[in-house]
């Protein structure tokens, strides 16, 4: 396999080195760079990145573990490269999927055709905790419920991408996509110049355009957009400030807003100012203490009434979570067929629902091979990774499933692709996933090429979540060779 | 601009200014306590006691300190004012609060300004130090002054001259006026004029120390070109238009910033009236009249009025 000392893991698809042992086209320059660069220099650059992230304050909070509450997410200096053809197909699949999710949300809060047609079980939707009866009959501006969706993908083969999970509520991580790119430009300009990489820097302006496009039609003023954050103790606070800053809009907390005559205003030094679109980074149960959690100090009393009166747009709309629930996930390919009349371009991971008798039996008999998750869990907490668990852990987990089978789903343990990663022992394969961000406004879908690549830094680990020791990588989508630099340089 | 953002900027600047003033006060106390027989003239036998106690009083920390300590020894006072996490007004707490305020309004700051503040905080929490021996304190205080100067320099040279900048500077000058007045009030007894008596060695030390705490020992000579006298020093620190830490200079800034905001928003409020009133009182005052009125009475009156200005700024803009 050439001069590269890099050795992929047997049985896992590797992003750089193909099954035949040859370096894949998209990775030619990265491979050369890894071979030719002194590891001491790579280590020095890695440290530089760490210092920069800390100084800029790109940190996240980890709950309940003691120690320094503000940490940086480890950044890996080896980029993850996706070629133009791969990306083109992914992008089509993402657009199709998110379109269907939005159609589904509009439908179930209105006519519920998909339920009446018997495609999805009514109870699964209507008894779902993420389903909000308060949203019944609501027609969102532009027909969009989930304006910002993050779709978690994994790769297991050359052309085999699976969707692991949809995030239709408040997906985070896009600031890392942008900051990782900044960091690579700073650290390795030569390596970047050797590639034609699709830019991602315009994401904030795409986001602002998306948010403005769904402003309530009742107002003919230039719409005022704000980002609503739970505050500085939220784990994604950095991202909230980052996005507000790059869009040039106010970053507000609940206490900065108030509702009067069903209109939303913010308190400013000039007096009250009307707000039209709120990019909300607060979970639904906390947005309005008059309607949901009465103890919430994060929300705005009266916000739901203002929303229902059509005087303000919330992105994403409350109630969008019912589309990304792990038990509804199973049915996304059915939605695509039902609403769009198309076959799903992106594959779902086969999923067993422990609430069903047959599936239950299968899961209990095969705990050692499966990944079991809580239906309502997130962040990689509370899951059982069968092949990496002990007998005792399996037995304890089995008891939890037995107590509330409806609360669990299981999936086969996928051989997640690996990507070369700079770790203590040098450059080694580590498992990665990919979260692209899909924006939907009144004028359709837009996707910035790339996304957030998360990497499980511990050897053999399949858990990429930042709360579980995962790191991030810059994700490069190469532009097709026909366009771009060569043509422009003539 | 959001009222909360304005409030955060205002308090961010107040806390940074407070940290700087604490560093100045500790600096002066450390020097004075080293002077031979510095406090004997005051009839206090224990010179340490005298000096460290007066820092506690000047910085408004006496009540808090004596709630948990008996004796104001050098070590205890330095620890309480410089490093103590449980004291919300220690240098450490001030910098931490300032940085938290900044974090809450990052978007209103430039990257340069935020990163320098964040670095200050990171350096501070990396110092695991719990005490300073003689000689070590100076290094720490120099560092604090350097970082706070970097903050105000960064604000002046990088911030957009919008509302945010005005609220930040307002915080600086409201805090500085308060602090300057308190330092003078603690030391007012050494400033009382004794005819045209030029002070002896002890007065000289005390006066020099006072000027130092205002970073003004050289500028005094530049302005007066005459020997130190109590009257001259008091005039310089209270009424000078040129000395950037004098009460008049602080109020000139506060007044100017508030007028700017009034023009911007098209509203004149109670805070504008109060600041204008206080400023003109200082602007047209004579030092002899102040002495006649009573220096201590004048200074306590000033502190109260400056606090009212701050309260009214909060009512007008920050809530």
Q: Print the SS3 string covering B156-217.
A: HHHCCCCHHHHHHHHHHHHHHHHHHHHHHHHCHHHHCCCCCCCCCHHHHHHHHHHHHHCCCH
User: Taking CA atoms, what residue in B is nearest to A246?
Assistant: B107
Q: Same structural domain for residues B209 and B132? A: no
Residues 6 or more apart whose Cβ sits within 8 Å of residue A124 = A327, A328, A331
Does residue B3 sit at the A interface (CB-CB below 8 Å)? Answer: yes
- Give the residue on A whose Cα is nearest the Cα of B319: A267
Q: Which of residues 236-265 of B touch A (CB under 8 A)?
A: 261, 265
Contact predicate A71/A412, CB 8 Å: no
Give chain A positions within 8 Å (CB) of B2.
250, 252, 256, 266-269
Same domain, B208 and B124: no
Q: Do A268 and B122 touch (CB under 8 A)?
A: no
- Which two tokens mark A481? 């060779």
Nearest neighbour of B114 by CB, restricted to A54, A57, A255: A57
Q: Which residues of B touch A237 (CB under 8 A)?
A: 103
Contact B1 A269 (CB under 8 A): yes
pLDDT of residue B200: 63
Domain with CATH 3.30.1490.270 in chain A: 351-412
Q: In sequence order, what are the residues at sequence separation of 6 or more whose Cβ sits closer than 8 angstroms to the Cβ of residue A119? A: A331, A334, A335, A338
**CB spacing of A244 vs B107 below 8 angstroms:** yes
Residue at a domain's end among B159, B181, B213: B159
**How far does the CA of residue A255 sit from the closest CA of chain B (Å)?**
9
Mean pLDDT score, B70-77: 88
Higher pLDDT, B252 or B37: B252
Architecture of domain A351-412: 2-Layer Sandwich (3.30)
In angstroms, the CA B218 to CA B50 distance is: 26
Contacts of A231 in chain B (CB under 8 A): 104
Biggest CA–CA distance in chain A, Å, is 71
Give SS3 for A441: strand
- Chain A residues with CB under 8 Å of a chain B CB are 54-57, 231-232, 237, 241, 244-245, 250-253, 255-256, 266-270
Q: Does B173 touch chain A (CB under 8 A)?
A: no
Whether residue B10 is predicted with pLDDT greater than 90 in this model: the reply is yes
- CB atoms closer than 10 angstroms to residue A261: 10
Bridge partners of A422? A427
Alpha carbon separation from A385 to A329, A334, A366, A395 (Å, rounded): 20, 28, 12, 13
Shortest Cα distance from A309 to chain B (angstroms)? 25
Do residues B113 and B182 both lie within one domain?
no
Considering CB atoms only, which of A253, A255, A269 is closest to B6?
A269
Domain final position from B139, B159, B179: B159
B104 and B234 both lie in a single domain: no
> Which residue has better confidence, B207 or A24?
A24
Do B123 and B197 fall within a single domain? no
Within 13 Å, how many C-alpha atoms sit on residue A312's CB side? 32
Decide: helix, strand or coil at residue B135. coil
Asked if the Cβ–Cβ distance from A241 to B119 is below 8 Å, we say no
> How many residues appear in chain A?
490
- Run of H or E including A374: strand A370-374
Shortest Cα distance, chain A CAs vs residue B303, angstroms: 26
Tell me the C-alpha distance between B61 and B179, whole Å: 12
Interchain proximity B115–A56, CB inside 8 Å: yes
One domain for residues B102 and B83: yes
Measuring CA to CA, which residue among B166, B175, B164 is closest to residue B104? Answer: B164
Contact A410, A23 (CB under 8 A): no
pLDDT of residue B196: 47
Q: In this structure, are B148 and B170 located in the same domain? A: no
Looking at beta carbons, which residues of chain B come within 8 Å of A267? Answer: 2-4, 319
- Dihedral sign, Cα of residue B69, residue B73, residue B79, residue B80: positive
A245 to B317: CB separation less than 8 angstroms, yes or no:
no
Q: Answer yes or no: are the C-beta atoms of B62 and B53 closer than 8 Å.
A: yes
Among residues B127, B159, B191, the one where a domain terminates is B159
Pick from B3, B107, B261: CB nearest A267: B3
Show residues of chain B in contact with A251, CB under 8 Å. 107
Q: In angstroms, what is the C-alpha Rg of chain B?
A: 20
Of B107, B167, B265, which has the smallest distance from its Cβ to A270's Cβ?
B265
> Are residues B186 and B311 located together in one domain of the fold?
yes
Question: Which of A269, A270, A297, A300 is the best mutation test for B, with the most CBs of B within 10 A?
Answer: A269
Closest CA to A412 of A387, A390, A391, A434: A387
B29 and B150 housed in the same domain: yes
The residue in chain B having the minimum alpha-carbon distance to the alpha carbon of residue A229 is B104
What pLDDT score does B37 carry? 55
In this prediction, the residues of chain A whose per-residue pLDDT falls under 70 are 1-4, 60-70, 219, 377-380, 467, 481-490
B118 to chain A, minimum CA–CA distance in Å?
Answer: 6
Token digits of residue A40: 């001491």
- The per-residue pLDDT for A486 is 44
Residue of chain A with shortest Cα separation from B3: A268
B62 and B106 fall within a common domain: yes
Q: What is the mean pLDDT of chain B?
A: 88
Range name among A287-291, A407-411, B36-40, B168-172 with the lowest pLDDT average: B36-40
Structure tokens at B229: 């006298």
A382 compared with B35, residue with greater pLDDT? A382
Inter-chain Cβ pairs, chain A and chain B, closer than 8 A: 52
Q: Is B118 helix (H, G, I), strand (E, B) or coil?
A: helix
Optimal mutation site among A51, A56, A57, interface B, most CBs of chain B within 10 A: A57
Residues B152 and B12 in one domain: yes
- Note the pLDDT of residue B195: 52
Three-state DSSP string of B46-110:
CHHHHHHHHHHHHCCCHHHHHHHCCCCCHHHHHHHHHHCCCCCCCHHHHHHHHHHHHHHCHHHCC
User: B306: which residues sit within 8 A by CB, 6+ positions away?
Assistant: B174, B177, B178, B181, B251, B278
Which residue range is the domain that position B306 belongs to?
A: 161-319
Query: For B1, which residue in chain A has the nearest alpha carbon?
Result: A268
Nearest C-alpha neighbor of A435 from the set A54, A243, A154, A23:
A154
pLDDT in tens, A390-447: 999 999 999 999 999 988 989 998 889 999 999 988 899 999 999 999 999 999 999 9
pLDDT exceeds cutoff 70 at B39: no
What pLDDT sits at residue A68?
56
CA distance B316 to chain A (A): 8
Q: Does B4 touch chain A (CB under 8 A)?
A: yes
Query: Which of A1, A105, A74, A191 shows the shortest CA–CA distance to A440?
Result: A105
Asked which of A57-61, A439-443, B56-60, B227-231 is least confident by mean pLDDT, the reply is: A57-61
* Residue A282: per-residue pLDDT: 95
Cβ contact A268–B115 (<8 Å)? no
Q: What pLDDT is attached to residue A63?
A: 54
Provide the number of structural domains found in chain B.
Answer: 2
Residues B220 and B105 in one domain: no
Task: Give residue B107's pLDDT.
Answer: 82
């Amino acid at each position: 396999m050439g001069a590269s000392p890099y050795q992929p893991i047997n049985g896992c698809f590797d992003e750089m080195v193909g099954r035949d042992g040859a370096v894949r086209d998209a990775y030619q320059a990265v491979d050369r760079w890894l071979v030719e660069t002194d590891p001491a220099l790579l280590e020095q650059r890695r440290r530089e990145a760490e210092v920069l992230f800390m100084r800029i304050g790109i940190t996240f909070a980890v709950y309940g573990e003691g120690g320094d509450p503000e940490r940086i997410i480890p950044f890996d200096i080896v980029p993850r490269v996706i070629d133009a053809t791969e990306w083109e197909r992914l992008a089509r699949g993402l657009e199709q999927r998110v379109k269907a999710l939005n159609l589904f949300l509009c439908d179930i809060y209105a006519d519920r055709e998909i339920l009446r047609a018997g495609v999805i079980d009514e109870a699964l939707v209507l008894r779902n905790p993420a389903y909000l009866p308060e949203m019944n009959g609501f027609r969102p501006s532009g027909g969009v419920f989930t304006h910002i969706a993050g779709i978690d993908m994994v790769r297991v083969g050359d052309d085999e991408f699976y969707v692991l999970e949809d995030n239709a509520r408040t997906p985070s991580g896009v600031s890392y996509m942008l900051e990782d790119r900044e960091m690579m430009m700073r650290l390795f300009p030569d390596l970047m110049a050797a590639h034609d990489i699709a830019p991602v820097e315009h994401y904030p302006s795409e986001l602002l355009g998306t948010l403005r496009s769904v402003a309530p039609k009742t107002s003919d003023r230039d719409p005022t957009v704000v980002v609503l954050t739970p505050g500085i103790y939220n784990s994604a606070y950095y991202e909230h400030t980052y996005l507000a800053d790059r869009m040039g809009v106010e970053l507000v907390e609940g206490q900065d807003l108030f509702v009067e005559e069903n209109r939303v205003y913010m308190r400013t030094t000039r007096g009250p100012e009307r707000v039209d679109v709120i990019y909300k980074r607060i979970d639904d149960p906390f947005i309005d203490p008059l309607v949901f959690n009465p103890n919430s100090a994060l929300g705005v009393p009266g916000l739901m009434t203002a929303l229902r009166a059509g005087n303000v747009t919330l992105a994403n709309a409350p109630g969008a979570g019912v589309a990304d629930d792990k038990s509804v996930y199973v049915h996304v390919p059915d939605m695509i067929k039902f609403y769009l009349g198309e076959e799903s371009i992106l594959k779902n991971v086969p999923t067993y629902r422990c609430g069903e008798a047959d599936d239950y039996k299968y899961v209990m008999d095969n705990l050692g091979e499966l990944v079991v998750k809580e239906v309502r869990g997130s962040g990689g907490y509370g899951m059982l990774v069968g092949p990496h668990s002990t007998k005792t852990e399996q037995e304890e987990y089995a008891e939890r499933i037995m107590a509330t089978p409806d609360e669990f789903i299981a999936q086969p343990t996928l051989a997640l692709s690996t990507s070369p990663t700079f770790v203590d022992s040098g450059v080694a394969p580590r498992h990665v996933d990919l979260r692209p961000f899909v924006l939907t406004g009144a004028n359709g879908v837009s996707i910035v090429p790339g996304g957030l690549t998360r990497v499980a830094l511990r050897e053999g680990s399949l858990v990429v979540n930042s709360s579980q020791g995962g790191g991030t990588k810059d994700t490069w989508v190469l532009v097709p060779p026909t366009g771009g630099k060569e043509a422009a340089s003539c | 601009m959001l009222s909360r953002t304005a409030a955060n900027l205002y308090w961010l600047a107040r806390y940074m200014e407070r940290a700087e003033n604490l560093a100045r006060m500790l600096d002066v106390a450390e020097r004075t306590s080293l002077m031979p027989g510095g406090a004997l003239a005051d009839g206090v036998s224990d010179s340490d006691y005298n000096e460290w106690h007066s820092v506690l009083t000047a910085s408004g920390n006496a009540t808090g300190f004596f709630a948990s300590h008996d004796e104001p020894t050098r070590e205890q006072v330095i620890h309480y004012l410089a490093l103590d996490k449980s004291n919300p007004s220690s240098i450490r707490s001030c910098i931490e609060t300032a940085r938290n305020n900044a974090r809450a309004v990052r978007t209103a700051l430039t990257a340069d300004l935020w990163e320098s503040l964040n670095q200050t905080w990171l350096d501070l929490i990396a110092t695991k130090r719990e005490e300073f021996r003689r000689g070590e304190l100076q290094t720490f205080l120099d560092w604090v002054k350097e970082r706070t100067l970097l903050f105000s320099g960064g604000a002046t040279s990088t911030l957009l001259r919008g509302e945010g900048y005005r609220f930040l500077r307002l915080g600086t000058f409201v805090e500085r006026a308060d602090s300057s007045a308190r330092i003078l009030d603690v030391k007012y007894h050494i400033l009382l004029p004794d005819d045209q008596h030029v002070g002896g060695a002890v007065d000289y030390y005390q006066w020099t120390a006072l000027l130092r705490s205002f970073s003004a020992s050289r500028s005094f000579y530049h302005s007066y070109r005459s020997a130190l006298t109590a009257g001259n020093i008091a005039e310089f620190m209270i009424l000078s238009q040129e000395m950037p830490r004098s009460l008049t200079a602080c109020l000139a800034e506060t007044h100017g910033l508030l007028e700017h905001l009034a023009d911007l928003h098209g509203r004149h409020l109670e805070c504008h009236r109060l600041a204008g009133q206080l400023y003109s009182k200082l602007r047209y005052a004579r030092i002899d009249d102040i002495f006649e009125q009573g220096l201590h009475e004048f200074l306590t009156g000033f502190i109260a009025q400056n606090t009212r200005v701050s309260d009214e700024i909060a009512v007008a803009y920050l809530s």
